[in-house]
């Protein structure tokens, strides 16, 4: 076999293998992005801060922090949408929207329930 034939055969196997590895890295990147991007670090902090504000009935502060959380979430969503399910993204977004409504209505119990759902969904994004 000639040298060019050997090189061709190596490239025939290496290019698809390399492409497969790159796609696997991209698809498993959600955990890394959650824990190592600025938005990913801010989301759990914001959720905890909102929970504390709800318990203290600081409704205006909680609404303001929810807007910050929504901003971080929207930025992170564009980065993780290829590596997580659409249902998980929608579930987190819906819980965030419902929680904002409960905060505006000053419904402590319902808002805390949505905080629980946000925490659960956030933990599920890595799986």
- Domain residues for the domain of 41 are 29-124
Whether residue 72 is contained in a domain is answered as: yes
User: What is the DSSP code (8-state) at residue 107?
Assistant: -
Residue 63 lies in a domain: yes
Please check whether residue 46 is in contact with residue 118, taking contact to mean a CB–CB distance below 8 angstroms: no
17 in any annotated domain: no
pLDDT tens by residue, 93-106 = 999 999 999 999 99
User: Which CATH number is 56's domain given?
Assistant: 1.20.120
Q: Judge whether 42 lies within some domain.
A: yes
Residue 19 lies in a domain: no
Nearest one of 124, 95, 88, 91 to 112, comparing CA atoms: 95
- The predicted pLDDT at position 105 comes to 95
Q: Is residue 105 in a domain? A: yes
Position 7 in a domain: no
Assigned domain for 107 exists: yes
Number of domains in the chain: 1
> 12-51 burial by CB neighbour count: b if 16+ within 10 A, else e?
eeeeeeeeeeeeeeeeebbeebbeebebbebbbebbebbb
Q: What is the pTM of this model?
A: 0.77
In this predicted model, what pLDDT tens digit does every residue of 21-65 receive, in sequence order? 887 777 676 667 677 778 888 999 999 999 999 999 999 999 999
């Amino acid at each position: 076999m000639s040298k060019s034939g050997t090189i061709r055969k190596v490239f025939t196997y290496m290019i698809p293998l390399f492409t497969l590895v790159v796609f696997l890295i991209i698809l498993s990147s959600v955990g890394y992005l959650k824990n190592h991007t600025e938005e990913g670090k801010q989301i759990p902090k914001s959720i905890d801060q909102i929970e504390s504000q709800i318990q203290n009935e600081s409704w205006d502060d909680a609404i303001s922090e929810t807007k910050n959380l929504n901003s971080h979430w929207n930025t992170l969503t564009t980065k993780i949408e290829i590596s997580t399910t659409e249902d998980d993204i929608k579930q987190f977004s819906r819980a965030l929207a419902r929680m904002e409504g409960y905060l505006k209505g000053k419904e402590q119990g319902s808002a805390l329930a949505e905080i629980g759902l946000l925490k659960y969904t956030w933990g599920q994004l890595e799986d």
